[in-house]
Amino acid sequence: MVPTPRSERTMAGEQRLMPRFHLLTRVDIAVAGGGDFYWGSVRNLSRTGVAVVLKHNLMRNERVTIRFHFRSLDGREVIEELIAKDIWQCGDNTGLEFETPLTAGSPAVQKARYLVTHLEAKEAGH
């Protein structure tokens, strides 16, 4: 789980603004206003968004809910949800930008404590 260098380009060709961390976790993606969730897996993660492998096409700038699944230390499943929008797709790879970045003071931090804890550990080099 090593951060992706800032200078690395995404498949869509833009420069990355924040380091990405590879994370093995399942995600479910729901299009805003729809009831169906589509299964995906995380490719990498930053405080501003996530890249996922998703076998469902989204519309550019389409608003979605992302459900992150974790297992707590006591073995129970924990689900955290964040709102994002589609910013790029290339085949089965999709880049999603969080509506609110996971930065200090952000309301999104309260909704995604496991995600933030993971990012902080990676940023600290653990």
Structure tokens given for 84: 């994002």
- Enter the pTM of the model: 0.79
Convert the pLDDT of each residue in 15-69 to its tens digit: 556 655 445 578 999 998 777 899 999 998 999 999 999 999 999 999 999 999 8
**Whole-number pLDDT of residue 19:** 55
Identify the CA nearest to 57 among candidates 17, 93, 106, 26.
93
Proportion of the chain above pLDDT 90, given as a percent: 55
Fold of the domain built from segment(s) 26-123: Thrombin, subunit H (2.40.10)
**Residues 57-108: tens digit of each pLDDT:** 999 999 999 999 887 777 788 889 999 999 999 999 999 999 999 999 999 9
Question: Measured between alpha carbons, how far is 61 from 2 in angstroms, rounded to an integer?
Answer: 29
Predicted pLDDT at 25: 75
In this prediction, residue 8 carries a pLDDT of: 41
Buried b (16+ CB within 10 A) or exposed e, 35-66: eebbebebbbbbbbbbbbebeeebeeebbbbb
85 phi and psi, to 5 degrees?
Answer: -135, 150
* 111 vs 12: which has the higher pLDDT: 111
Backbone angles phi, psi at 29, to 5 degrees: -120, 125
Confidence of residue 123 (pLDDT cuts 50, 70, 90): confident
Break the chain into its structural domains and give their ranges: 26-123
Q: What pLDDT is stored for residue 69 in this prediction?
A: 87
Residue 115: pLDDT over 60:
yes
Q: What is the pLDDT of residue 99?
A: 96
Q: Bridge partners of 87?
A: none
Residue 17, pLDDT score: 60
